[in-house]
Structure 1
Amino acid sequence: MELATLTGHSDDVNAVAITPDGKRAVSASSDETLKLWDLETGTELATLTGHSKVVLAVAITPEGKRALSASSDDTLKLWDLDTGMELATLEGHSDMVWAVAITPEGKRAVSISYEK
């Protein structure tokens, strides 16, 4: 049974991550944004902007306070989910970043790029 349809992106949704408490989700889209959602009400809480190309992946830290996004603009961005603010841009890849994962202690991340 479908509980809700979350609408708001203007292009494909490429990835979704859910906070550990199950109350919020972050979606990554080809519209170059991420959206933060309240899963209890189905409402959009924030639009996270900063990437200049398609956002391909997203991961949430174990405490559920931050998200890390990966984009075809060759960067990763760290976001504060309470404020919606971009905290940092991580550079180093020379091609699009396809995936990202955060380690269980939340202090490191692993990213995968098309550059091999």
Structure 2
Amino acid sequence: MPATNKKLLSDKSYSQKAYLGKFPYNLVNSGNLTKYFQTLTDYQFISNKINHPEFGIQALIEDYDLLDATQTATHPDQSKTLKYIQSALRLSAHILTQDKQQLVSQLWGRLQTIKTPAMQTLLTQAQKTHPHPWLRPLTPSLTQAGGRLLRTLTGHSSF
């Protein structure tokens, strides 16, 4: 990640809010899809957006929907990678809302079978930069991203 991005992510001010809130949108609108892909596959960006009090998991999930059909068609490999990450985040949303410290475990448990370079880089970044102890699934024991289940809804315990 460029030094400018690191500085903005560490800054708890208006710049960080602007960076986390509008940066992906601005990248897509300016046609900078390479930087958009790099941003949404960067563990530090993902973690900071989830942990920011004004954004959270749902705002991050929505960042992955910014590409239109033409952009998706012209960048199929990158689009597929982003959809897998978005799917993993959706499947993990009910857990991450309660405990953001489980982000690394959730990503590993849902994405470790996807052997693309971008995905392996994301998982390696997550492993190296997570400051707390975490459980690393050795096998893909969680519902895998890209499957039939889209999201788990919680809140009702009776019929």
From the CA coordinates, give the structure whose radius of gyration is larger: 2
Q: TM (normalized to structure 2)?
A: 0.23
Higher relative contact order (CA 8 A, sep 6+): 2
Of Structure 1 and Structure 2, the greater strand share is in 1
Q: TM (normalized to structure 1)?
A: 0.29
